[in-house]
């Protein structure tokens, strides 16, 4: 049951997307196919991605209101928690939407790696016709050298570094700035934890992406890089258009 779900929802769609684009791109370049597949994945996830981005924008707009709630109810943690959740509810904000988007992409990355590396039942440049949809032709040429420069199966330090850098830029744009600790304020575990999580997301996550991208293969580094660039462009678009979480 799990195997059928995995192939139906993740592996087979990713593999067929790669093969489809390999057939139409110049020289059957697998790297270009990965770029186009990443764009396709981002397009499919666009509604969820826009929702997460609008949520982040709405949370930034809620900061002054949340600060007033904190000042008013700082001595009553339960009331503060209820008032905060009520503010989120009225604004139509789900603070966990970004986490859901991240979790969905994990199996996609795994499927991409398996499809390129040949550990998922297929091995590029050979094509497993048993996995192809009826409308996906078998490409006549398959090149594992991206732009005639980068072996997409091997590690690539510059591409992994680019994945880490773009992740840092994307995270910096998306994450709201943590509230500074007030002078002479008593230690607050919740606020300290929030600041710690912010620092980890901003600085540790790019390092993790770099390590993963370099450790696995250039294919994953390319996926992260393109995905981050698209996310950065989306964030700038949302800020420029002034979109709200309700789509207005």
As a three-state string, the secondary structure of the chain is CHHHHHHHHHHHHHHHHHHHHHHHCHHHEHHHHHHHHHHHHHHHCHHHHHHHHHHHHHHHHHHHHHHHHHHHHCCCHHHHHHHHHHHHHHHCCCCCHHHHHHHHHHHHHHHHHHHHHCCCCCCCCCCCHHHCCCCCCCCCCCECEECCCEECCCCCHHHHHHHHHHHHHHHHHHCCCCCCCCCCCCCCHHHHHHHHHHHHHHHHHHHHHHHHHHHHCHHHHHHHHHHHHHHHHHHHHHHHHCCCCCCC
Residue 246 confidence (pLDDT) = 44
Residue 245 confidence (pLDDT) = 42
Could you tell me if residue 202 is inside a domain?
Answer: yes
Could you tell me if residue 247 is inside a domain?
Answer: no
pLDDT tens by residue, the chain, 248 residues: 788 899 899 999 999 999 999 999 999 999 999 999 999 999 998 888 877 777 777 777 777 777 777 677 666 667 767 777 777 777 666 666 667 777 888 899 999 988 887 765 667 888 989 999 999 999 999 999 999 999 999 999 999 999 999 999 988 887 766 555 555 555 554 555 555 666 667 788 899 999 999 999 999 999 999 999 998 998 888 777 654 444 44
Contact 42, 230 (CB under 8 A): yes
Residue 180 confidence (pLDDT) = 54
Residue that has been written with the tokens 């840092």 in this structure:
168
Name every residue whose Cβ is closer than 8 Å to that of residue 20 and which is 6 or more positions away in sequence. 136, 137
Contact 124, 112 (CB under 8 A): no
Counting the structural domains of the chain, the total is 1
Could you tell me if residue 186 is inside a domain?
Answer: yes
- Mapped onto helix, strand or coil, the DSSP state of residue 201 is helix
- With 0-12 / 13-18 / 19 or more C-beta atoms within 10 angstroms meaning exposed / middle / buried, residue 193 is exposed
Residue 194 confidence (pLDDT) = 55
Could you tell me if residue 49 is inside a domain?
Answer: yes
Could you tell me if residue 121 is inside a domain?
Answer: yes
Could you tell me if residue 248 is inside a domain?
Answer: no
Domain that holds residue 205: 2-241
Residue 31 confidence (pLDDT) = 95
Could you tell me if residue 63 is inside a domain?
Answer: yes
Could you tell me if residue 220 is inside a domain?
Answer: yes
């Amino acid at each position: 049951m799990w195997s059928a779900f995995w192939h139906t929802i993740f592996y087979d769609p990713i593999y067929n997307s790669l093969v489809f684009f390999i057939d139409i791109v110049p020289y059957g370049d697998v790297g270009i196919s990965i770029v186009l597949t990443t764009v396709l994945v981002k397009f499919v996830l666009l509604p969820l991605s826009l929702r997460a981005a609008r949520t982040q924008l709405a949370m930034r707009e809620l900061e002054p209101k949340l600060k007033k709630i904190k000042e008013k109810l700082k001595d009553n943690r339960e009331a503060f928690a209820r008032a905060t959740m009520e503010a989120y509810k009225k604004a139509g904000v789900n603070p966990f939407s970004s986490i859901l988007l991240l979790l969905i992409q994990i199996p996609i990355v795994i499927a991409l790696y398996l499809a390129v590396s040949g550990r998922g039942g297929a091995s590029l440049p050979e094509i497993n016709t048993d996995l192809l949809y009826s409308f996906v032709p078998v490409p006549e040429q398959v090149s594992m050298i991206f732009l005639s420069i980068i072996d997409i199966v091997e590690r690539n330090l510059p591409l992994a570094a680019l994945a880490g850098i773009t992740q840092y830029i994307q995270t910096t744009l998306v994450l709201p700035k943590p509230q500074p600790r007030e002078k002479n304020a008593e230690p607050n575990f919740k606020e300290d934890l929030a600041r710690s999580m912010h620092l980890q997301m901003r600085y540790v996550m790019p390092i993790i992406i770099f390590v993963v991208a370099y450790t696995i293969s250039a294919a994953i580094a390319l996926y992260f890089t393109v995905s981050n660039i698209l996310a950065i462009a989306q964030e700038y678009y949302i800020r420029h258009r002034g979109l709200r979480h309700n789509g207005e």
